[in-house]
Amino acid sequence: MADVDVSDLHGHSDLHVARKVFHAINGIIMLSCHYLFGHKLFTKGLLLISIVFTIADFSRSYLPFAQKIARKLIGFLMRKEEAKQMTGSTFYMIGCAIVFLFFPPLIAKVATVHLAFGDPIASFFGILFGDRMPRLSNGKSLIGTAAAWMVNMAATACLLAGVQPLAGGAFAAAVIITSLFGALAEACPLPVNDNLVIPLVSAATTQVVLTMALGGPHWMSYAF
């Protein structure tokens, strides 16, 4: 790809409020559409949209007009490093599509709220207050991770409250552990976009924790 002007784009260390708000709204829209259209139809639609996003995003590397269109439509959401590579929004769609395709609905919803709310909150607090505590090797902050954990717990508690056999200590443990792994996934120094890592780690952890907490896979009767 030829050199691309990135002077109008935000850097990774910028607060970039519009991107964070969009991140959260995107999750709310997904959960709302899942409720309105049902699991099967929603998952098919999300998979199709993810494929279209991936193709369109990938084409920016080879088609200058595609780059221009993308900059006009979503330039306000892009970071400088995304001018020459796939955007976080595409990984966001792919990650959510995978968890809704391969995990029970409840698990996918937990993974989605961790991505939609925990991730931007971690970035927000990390940028504003992260220098008050040591940072990880990848620049992520302990304060941001703690903030994501708190938000994840609140959102996860709302979702798991409908699983009636999960009560007392088991409920608290499930909320705390799944939320913690969702927050740690955002902070891990992996060479993969965290919009893909967070939902996958969160979904896998939640499935294991619920199966262990309830003594087997019978919890899946509450998974819708």
Beta bridge partners of 79: 10
Q: What is the largest CA-CA distance in the chain?
A: 58
Q: Residue 181 and residue 207: Cα distance in Å, rounded?
A: 12
| Residue 222: predicted pLDDT | 53
- Spatial CB neighbours of 112, under 8 Å, sequence gap ≥ 6: 27, 30, 31, 96, 99, 199
As a whole number of angstroms, the distance between CA 109 and CA 224 comes to: 10
Q: Whose CA is closest to 5, among 78, 83, 87? A: 83
Q: What is the token pair recorded at 81?
A: 């490093």
Tokens of 172: 């608290």
Q: Which two tokens stand for residue 118?
A: 């925990």
Contact 124, 20 (CB under 8 A): yes
Average pLDDT, the chain: 89
How is residue 56 written in tokens? 């369109």
Give the span between the Cα atoms of 176 and 207, in whole angstroms. 14
**Whole-number pLDDT of residue 2:** 47
- Of residues 100, 120, 101, 102, the one with CA closest to residue 110: 100
CA dihedral 215, 220, 222, 224 (to 10 degrees): 160
| Tens-place pLDDT, residues 111-170 | 999 999 999 999 999 999 978 877 777 778 899 999 999 999 999 999 999 887 788 899
Q: Which two tokens stand for residue 67?
A: 């780059």
Local confidence band at 63 (pLDDT 50, 70, 90 cut-offs): confident
pLDDT for res 220: 58
Q: Please work out, in degrees rounded to the nearest 5, the angle formed at the alpha carbon of residue 55 by the alpha carbons of 15 and 76.
A: 25
Tell me the mean pLDDT in the region 22-35.
Answer: 96
Report d(CA 150, CA 2) in Å as an integer: 43
- The whole-model pTM stands at 0.90
Question: Which tens digits make up the pLDDT trace of 169-219?
Answer: 999 999 999 999 999 999 988 889 999 999 999 999 999 999 888 776 655
